[in-house]
Structure formats: C-alpha cells, structure tokens
Structure 1
C-alpha cells in the first residue's frame, strides 16, 4: 500500500496539504497585491521595492500556512476519544479556530507580521458578520413563519411561499441589509478619517489620503493633473 493511501498517515498528509495550500494561496494573493502597490504608489530604486514585495508575500504565506497547521493539529487532537470525540464537530472546529488564532492572529506571541494578520482578520470579520446576519434571518423565517403581502395584496405565510418566492424574498432582504451595512460602514470610515485618522489601519489611511486629500494639490499642466 502506498504511504499516501495508508489511513495511519492520513491526518499528517491532511495537515501538510492544508499548509501547502495556505502557502500557495497566500503567496499568489499577496504577491499580486504588493507588486501593484509598490509599482504604482511607491517610488525609489526597484530592487528594495521588489524585496518588500517578496517579504510581504512570504509573511502572508507564512501566516496562512501556520494557522492551517495549528488548526488541523488542534482538530485532530480535540477529536480524539480522550478529549471531545467526534460527536462535537462544530465545537471542535470553533475551539481549534480560537486556539490557532490565539497563536497566529492575536499578536499575543508576536510571531507574525501584525499588519497582515490585522488585514486578514478584519477581512474575515466583515464576511462573518454578513454570514451571521443571513443565518439569523433564515432561522427567523423558519422558526417564526412571518407573513408577507404579495403583489396582489394577499397575505401569505413564509412556509406557503414556493422555493422561488422564498429565494427572491431572502435576496431582497440580503440586498437591503448590505445596503445599510455599506452606508454605515463608509459613513463611519469617513468620520473616523476626519476625526482621528491615526487610528485607522495604515494602508487604508494612506489610500484615503491619496484619493481624498487633494485640496492643497496644484497642477500647472494637464500632464501634471493626470500624473503622466
């Protein structure tokens, strides 16, 4: 039997595969982002800028790979019969995620690039917040069976809507939720940037300065105005 097909080594190969995928995904994502930022918005010799691109790529890949390794190890440990077993899979994954984040993302051990761990965590937070809103909506619709008025003016319970109508209703609420989320988020971003900009994450602050703080800029020619 091939070692790859041996169930005895399966957990180890799952951990290594997750780490490999973290390296590949983090490397591709950060390299393209850092390359564009350095080439378009930074000046100076090319070699130091390219070095910073590779450093950021390495740091991002290291963060994702490290969390994958720690998370998978924690899952296998918690699933053992001596701990939680396999009956509490959701609790197991939640605890493993918390443990991995404590080591990698929290900054408690100061092992990883703080800027990158902050960016990843804030990115995930916005997605998780929206996902939790959708989960709560689904639970509410199923448990309380609210009524709605259709285009003909008839009152209908949620459970009496067909599949297409239920999906259309959910998408309508999702879109409205996103609308208000976006409005409040950007209102707060612009308020904080005007009130206490030093508290914003550095890359966000720099991009906002570049885009919005143009009141004192002067341009003598169209070439200067267009930046060419």
Structure 2
C-alpha cells in the first residue's frame, strides 16, 4: 500500500500534470466550500423562516446545498481550465486574462436567476464595491481619507435598506424581506408570554 501511495504522491507532485490537477482540485474546493457555506445557511433559513413539514425543509436544505456546491465547483473548474488554455495560446496580460475567462465562464455557469445565484452575485457585488474603492485609493483616483469611513457607509446602507423595506419592499429579495419582517414587524406582535419571549408564532 505504501508503494501505491508513493506513486500517487509522485504523480500528484509531477510539475507536468500540475495545471490539469489544479483544475480538478479547484472543482473539489468549490464543491466543498459551497456545501459548507450553503448547508449552514440553509439550516438557519429552514429553522427560522420556513413553516413547511420537516421532510420538505430537509429537501430544501439538500437542494440548495447541492445547487450552491455544484455551481461554485463548476465555475472554479471551468475558470481554471479556460485560464490555462488561454494562457497557453494567447499572450494576454494577467488582469485581462482573469477578467475575460471569468466573464465567459460566469455567463454560462450563472445563467439562471435563482436564489442561490442571486445571493452569490450580490455577495460578490458588495465585496467588489469595497474593492473598487480601495483600488481607486491605491491608484490615487480617490483621496485617502484619514477619518473613519465605515460608520458612514454602514449608516447609508441601513438607511437605504430600511427605506426600501418600509416603502418599496417589492424591490427587495424575498429572503431579505422575510428577514426584515421577522426583525421589525413580528417584533410588534404577540399575544402571550410564549410568543413574546420563547417562540415567535407569526409567519414572516
């Protein structure tokens, strides 16, 4: 057995196979990471915001976990594959190569608008908004402000989201509406000490 494992390790560490093996490892990483993130999130959603029978909640958890892990795994796999192919054929600089390959793969992998894809894309949108601001400061397109900016950023985000929830909630995602309803509207309603302190019985 030790000889077989040694041969496998030698194969895995052979530089000539590194690019191909990296795409397979990327597929594995995407599946595992997607499953970890979505499984925990789906459990919280199923317990707090869904009132279906338990069998249906379990199917909900499994379906979203599978969808998230599959989508992320496929994206990593095809992105790394396309990036390797493009790098071997075209002399494109790294920034353009990264953008073009991700753009092409994302168009096909994330082509369906569903709750999982929306959450992934909106999560990334929030991160790249901050990233663009830091990049602009790095390139001196924006001034480096010494005073704390995050409190103003947080105030703006919460001000906008509560305004939309209170006045135009149809523009928000259903999952966000359920969360906001649970926090801000269900807290206005109770009929006994049980649903005041122990368990909220009003549907979001």
TM range (shorter): 0.7 to 0.9
Contact 2:31 2:73 in 1 (8 A): yes
Contact 1:84 1:92 in 2 (8 A): no
CA distance in 2, matches of 1:138, 1:6: 39
When normalised by structure 1's length, the TM-score is 0.75
Structure 2 counterpart of 1:152 = none
Give the unaligned 5+ runs of structure 1.
147-168
Among 35, 40, 47, the residue aligned to 1:32:
40
Structure 2 counterpart of 1:162 = none
Structure 2 counterpart of 1:164 = none
Displacement over 3 Å in runs of 4+: none
Task: Give the structure with higher Rg (CA).
Answer: 1
CA distance in 2, matches of 1:218, 1:127: 38
Instruction: Name the one with the larger helix percent.
Output: 2
Q: Which has the higher contact order (CA 8 A, sep 6+)?
A: 2
Q: 1:22 to 1:83 in 2, by over 3 A?
A: same
Structure 1 counterpart of 2:128 = 128
Among 189, 193, 196, the residue aligned to 1:225:
196
Structure 2 counterpart of 1:156 = none
CA distance in 1, matches of 2:20, 2:64: 28
When normalised by structure 2's length, the TM-score is 0.83
CA distance in 1, matches of 2:21, 2:96: 23
CA distance in 1, matches of 2:95, 2:33: 25
CA distance in 2, matches of 1:190, 1:184: 10
CA distance in 1, matches of 2:164, 2:195: 30
Q: What do the CA deviations read for 1:108-152 (whole angstroms, capped 9, x no partner)?
A: xx3xx62111101111111111122122223229xx9x8xxxxxx
Q: 1:197-208 alignment to 2 at 5 Å? A: 197-208=169-180
Q: 1:166-181 alignment to 2 at 5 Å? A: 172-173=146-147, 175-176=148-149, 178-181=150-153
Give the unaligned 5+ runs of structure 2.
1-6, 200-204
CA shift for structure 1 position 223: 1.8
Structure 2 counterpart of 1:97 = 102
CA distance in 2, matches of 1:180, 1:194: 21
Q: What do the CA deviations read for 1:62-117 (whole angstroms, capped 9, x no partner)?
A: 1110110111112112102x3235xx111111111111211122x2xx3xx62111
Q: 1:74-153 alignment to 2 at 5 Å? A: 74-80=82-88, 82-84=89-91, 88-105=93-110, 107=111, 110=112, 114-140=114-140
CA distance in 2, matches of 1:215, 1:11: 54
Contact 1:25 1:61 in 2 (8 A): yes
Is 1:19 the counterpart of 2:27? The answer is yes
Among 183, 187, 192, the residue aligned to 2:155:
183
Structure 1 counterpart of 2:3 = none
Give the root-mean-square deviation of aligned CA atoms. Answer: 2.3
CA distance in 2, matches of 1:94, 1:216: 47
For the residue of structure 2 that corresponds to 1:116, the secondary structure is helix
